[in-house]
Amino acid sequence: MNKIPVGILGATGIVGQRYIKLLSNHPWFEVTELAASEKSAGKKYEEVMKNRWKLEGEIPHKVKNLVLKECKPNLECKIVFSALDASVAGPIEEEFAKEGYVVISNARNHRMDEDVPLLIPEVNPESLQLIEIQKRRRGFKGFIVTHPNCSTTHLCLVLKPLHEKFKIRKVIVTTMQAISGAGYPGIASLDIVDNIIPYIPLEEDKIENETLKILGKMEGGRINYANIAVSATCNRVFVSDGHMESVSVELENKPSIDEFIGCLDEFDPLKNYHLPSHVKPIIILREEDRPQPRLDRNLANGMASIVGKIRRCKVLDYKFLVLGNNTIRGGAGGAILIAELLKYMNII
Ligand code: NAP
């Protein structure tokens, strides 16, 4: 099979590096273009990444010698994955979509636009109906699909089956988020070593708002947001990778604890699609001291949400922990799964 050529915008960053690693042996996609800021453009990837490659192992052979380009829509590829800083992502992504590229973005800029899918493939594939509306309305030859915020992704993967079966009324979530979530060089070591920082700019709003769009319903060409009260508190903690979330939920229909666990355990709507990055999306750990970021963040290739400590809550109905890999399922891996779904559905 001829592989589909893809480009990475923001290829030098933390999420960009993750794309390069995850796509290095992908059966459907081949990285043909890398792009970043003006200061990186014109140089070989290997040269720019000296002392900046932060992932295990070496830079994959096939991309080492690719020359970084500017983020302009003259790249030789069909799909671009955008891991751009949010300060620049919005207009760059629009330019690419206008010129006919399929843009799959990890940046926040277009997530809440009413004609842009905010997609988790297992959760709301029907939101892809927005693509045609977006193209028509904006005169784009291509289109933009966005991937949610990293914490929101893992939260919604777990809330989806519960909402479908028992109807969620309220969610209280407190996050403990890893430092890689702030990009590179990210947060200063003097601020985070031996510390917890109870503030991540815009993060609480992103979780509260994106969740309602993702769990909403497509009706008459638009999304009706879910009617759930979501309250989020976000903290940056001294962990390299893996966001932990402590979640309590109130449900309209009251399941037994076995029904609650069974509902999460059965959830695997893409199991017959044979997508290369698919894993069973929820893993339940029964040990009372799990999940833990260092031990569990790479279970199922970093593509699953790891749930543990499921128990009754004396204020709402149930409480539990969710651990999610932020740069894989919460970043590049989640966006690659979107591209795989688009191909499966013959949208690309
Ligand atoms: P990062 O490490 O700071 O990387 C940012 C990237 O943006 C770099 O490649 C940088 O290129 C590029 N860039 C900056 N200014 C630019 C400009 N003017 N023109 C073109 N490119 C420019 O950030 P990150 O953590 O990888 O995050 C990337 C995006 O994904 C952000 O929007 C972030 O919110 C989102 N996200 C991050 C995570 C995570 O866990 N880190 C998870 C989900 C989503 P240069 O090296 O050339 O400056």
Average pLDDT over residues 132-159: 98
| pLDDT, tens digit (0-9, with 9 covering 90-100), for 221-255 | 999 999 999 999 999 999 999 999 999 999 999 99
Residue pair 334/120 in contact by the 8 Å Cβ criterion: yes
d(CA 330, CA 207): 13
| pLDDT, tens digit (0-9, with 9 covering 90-100), for 198-227 | 999 999 999 999 999 999 999 999 999 999
Gyration radius of the chain over CA positions: 19
- Start-to-end C-alpha separation, the chain: 15
- Quick one: pLDDT band at residue 179, thresholds 50, 70, 90? very high
User: Identity (one letter) of the amino acid at 123?
Assistant: V
| Residue among 77, 150, 156, 234 flagged as catalytic | 150
Query: Of 106, 118, 102, 95, nearest to 18 (Cα)?
Result: 106
d(CA 105, CA 328): 14
d(CA 86, CA 108): 6
| Residue among 26, 110, 147, 243 flagged as catalytic | 243
pLDDT of residue 325: 98
Q: Is the pLDDT of residue 93 over 80?
A: yes
Residue 12 CA to ligand 1 centre (angstroms): 8
d(CA 284, CA 173): 18
pLDDT of residue 178: 98
Residue 8 CA to ligand 1 centre (angstroms): 11
pLDDT of residue 196: 98
| pLDDT, tens digit (0-9, with 9 covering 90-100), for 18-57 | 999 999 999 999 999 999 999 999 999 999 999 999 999 9
pLDDT of residue 27: 97
Which residues, judged by CB distance below 6 Å to any ligand atom, belong to the binding site of ligand 1? Answer: 10-16, 36-37, 39-40, 71, 83-86, 88-89, 106-108, 150, 180-181, 183-184, 326-327, 330-331
CA distances (Å), 277 to each of 23, 81, 177, in order?
Answer: 10, 16, 24
Average pLDDT over residues 119-129: 98
Angle subtended by helix axes 130-138 and 86-98, to nearest 10: 80
Residue pair 235/175 in contact by the 8 Å Cβ criterion: yes
- Quick one: pLDDT band at residue 192, thresholds 50, 70, 90? very high
Locate 71 and state its tokens.
């983020």
Nearest CA to ligand 1 atom 28: 83
Residue 91 CA to ligand 1 centre (angstroms): 15
Average pLDDT over residues 335-343: 98
pLDDT of residue 83: 98
Q: Is the pLDDT of residue 1 over 80?
A: no
- Quick one: pLDDT band at residue 125, thresholds 50, 70, 90? very high
| pLDDT, tens digit (0-9, with 9 covering 90-100), for 257-309 | 999 999 999 999 999 999 999 999 999 999 999 999 999 999 999 999 999 99
pLDDT of residue 119: 98
- Quick one: pLDDT band at residue 6, thresholds 50, 70, 90? very high
pLDDT of residue 139: 98
pLDDT, averaged across the chain = 97
List the Cα angle 89/91/95 in 5-degree steps: 110
pLDDT of residue 74: 97
